[in-house]
Amino acid sequence: MSENAKINALLIRGTDNVATCVTAVRRGETVVCRTDGAILTLTALEDIPQWHKVSLTDLSAGDPVIKYGQMIGKAVRPIPKGSLADHGNITGIPRDYESELLFPDHPGSKQPAGQ
């Protein structure tokens, strides 16, 4: 595919295994995103609505789903490359928001200041 290919998906980090489609992509159409200076293409196996995730690799049940370079969930069933990745086939992972708090002196924090 040429450098002039229309980018229709956003890949945040090269290590991500999902990308976000910035336009709706119909089944059979090509998903196009840029990664590390290269163009990555794949065929959508189903309709991917705008602002939804598409799997860039074949994921097995239990595999981590990576976006932003972070695990955002796990596949609950196989998600073939080119398929919609959403709440129907991904489960979120519990997070410890208290340990992620940037401002420990904030009134909502349960952590003592200085820790």
Which domains does the chain carry? 9-95 (2.30.130.110)
* Predicted pLDDT at 93: 80
Which pair of tokens denotes residue 73? 């969930």
Least confident of 11-15, 32-36, 103-107: 103-107
* pLDDT over 60 (residue 26): yes
Mean per-residue pLDDT, 99-115:
59
Q: How confident is the model at residue 103 (pLDDT cuts 50, 70, 90)?
A: low
* Predicted pLDDT at 32: 97
* Predicted pLDDT at 100: 64
Least confident of 84-88, 89-93, 101-105, 111-115: 111-115
* Predicted pLDDT at 1: 47
* E-only strand ranges, 2-82: 9-10, 18-21, 30-35, 38-43, 53-55, 64-67, 70-75
How far apart, in whole angstroms, are the C-alpha atoms of residue 54 and residue 18? 5
Give, for 98, the enclosing helix (H) or strand (E).
Answer: helix 97-100
Question: How, if at all, do strands 53-55 and 70-75 pair?
Answer: unpaired
For 43-97, what is each residue's pLDDT tens digit?
Answer: 999 999 999 999 999 999 999 999 999 999 999 999 999 999 999 999 988 777 6
